[in-house]
Structure 1
Amino acid sequence: MRDEAGVAAVLVLALAAVLALVGAASTSLAAVAVARQRAAAVADLSALAAAEQALLGQEAACERAEQVARLAGAGLRSCQVRGDVAVVMAQVRPPGPLGRLGTASARARAGPSGGRGG
């Protein structure tokens, strides 16, 4: 009887370790998904800000987009303004150890419907 109790304890510990690993993996995947959604939101806001300034030229428009991204805790990977259309790519670093592995990025376009920028 005593031998069986020892085996049960080992099995319970192994199951707890597996559950902890599954929980950690799920949390990591959720953090990556949240970072991706944040990058998409920042890209949208930055593109809108750049499009609003498009008539002032690419430099002014992209400076505004960079400012919006920075205020949102993100970075701007690229910014292009063609006519009255702005296209930006924003990037967000996931929190915790995942942030060392890379960034989540998203692209957004803003301007009038059928804008001249293509």
Structure 2
Amino acid sequence: MRGGPRDRGSGSVLVLAACAALLSVGLGVLGLSSAVLARHRAESAADLAALAGADVLAGRASGAPCERAAAVLRAHGARLVGCAVRGDGSVAVSAAVLPAGPPAALGEAVARARAGQATEAAAVEGSR
């Protein structure tokens, strides 16, 4: 006999504790993945919306820049937080996406993007 009579069933308790720990870690990873996915979706939607607004400013599309940006965000499941047409001919967009599942209680993932005509100063700065 390996252990005394008091040790009977202790292996089952240890296995259950290990399973509970693995389940907790797995749920945490799923929650984190949902939040990261929401951030990536917000970034992509903000980039596309800013480009759509810049197309309006450049005359390649019709409508108002911020209305076009809002339509693109809605199509990508994001919400328009802010939109501004800047004096340098660019459009700045802020977008928000709510994560799925329990991470939604922590709030929305917000991303910002700006797009517009390249200026000579920006081209010189970008070539360095």
Calculate the TM-score normalised by the size of structure 1: 0.88
- Rg larger for: 2
> 2: distance between equivalents of 1:47 and 1:28?
29
2:26 is the counterpart of 1:20: no
Q: Tell me the matched-pair count.
A: 114
Select the residue among 41, 53, 56 that pairs with 1:53.
56
> 1: distance between equivalents of 2:93 and 2:13?
54
The structure in which a higher percent of residues are helix is: 1
Which residue type is aligned with residue 56 of structure 2? Answer: Q
Paired residues of 2:31 and 2:102 also in contact (CA < 8 A): no
Structure 1 runs not aligned, ≥5 long: none
Calculate the TM-score normalised by the size of structure 2: 0.81
Counterpart residue number, 1:112: 117
Identical pairs, percent:
45
Paired residues of 1:85 and 1:111 also in contact (CA < 8 A): yes
Structure 1's consecutive aligned runs of 4 or more residues displaced over 3 angstroms after TM superposition are none
Q: CA deviation at 1:5?
A: 3.8
